[in-house]
Amino acid sequence: MLLNFPGSEEVSFGKVKPEIDALLQQGVVAYRSDFARAETFFRQALAAEPDELASYFCLYKIHTYHGDLDVALEMARTGLRKAAAQAGWPEDWRQWTPQNPFPDGAGRFALYTLKALSFIHLRREEVESAQEILSTLKTLDPQGEVGWPVIAALCEGLAA
């Protein structure tokens, strides 16, 4: 899945329908110079396939970068609920349990999005909410596979 927008060439979104991938790729290219156009492509992809997780990822990512933290929060929460449902997990992440083996697909996306949600909370200066999520991620992903330790280090710096 997408790791970086700025300067990226074609991005692998995994197994998505070709027409959705085309919209997402156009959004990635547009993001370099035109936020509104990028958002339009990502929202078109979401409208065409509301269960496609990559669209939520693109939207929460660009809105976080752009500082639209309310929209980023909404997209991350919605994507998290969709991913949890697809993985067969409870909607409330506080009820999730560690998986063995470590999940892929929708489960991995859910954990990655939970990490993103902690970052969005940090950007919103909601340190306690971020800490609660990070504490859960420490249990669900003790190896830090989705990259939550980086966010935890940022959180520690803000809490100090």
In a domain, 124, yes or no: yes
Residues 57 and 103 in one domain: no
In a domain, 85, yes or no: no
Residues 94 and 160 in one domain: yes
Residues 94 and 136 in one domain: yes
Overall number of domains in the chain: 2
Residues 94 and 158 in one domain: yes
What is the residue-averaged pLDDT of the chain? Answer: 92
In a domain, 73, yes or no: no
Residues 110 and 148 in one domain: yes
Supply the range of the domain harboring residue 46.
Answer: 1-66
pLDDT digits (tens, 9 = 90+) for 7-18: 556 788 888 999
In a domain, 72, yes or no: no
Check residue 9 and give its pLDDT.
67
Judge residue 5's burial from the number of C-beta atoms within 10 Å of its C-beta, 0-12 exposed, 13-18 middle, 19 or more buried: middle
pTM, whole model, 2 decimals? Answer: 0.90
pLDDT digits (tens, 9 = 90+) for 30-87: 998 999 999 999 999 999 999 999 999 999 999 999 999 999 999 999 999 999 999 9
In a domain, 20, yes or no: yes
Report the phi/psi class of residue 144: left, alpha or beta, with left for phi > 0 and alpha for psi in -120 to 50: left
Residues 22 and 55 in one domain: yes
pLDDT digits (tens, 9 = 90+) for 100-156: 999 999 999 999 999 999 999 999 999 999 999 999 999 999 999 999 999 999 988
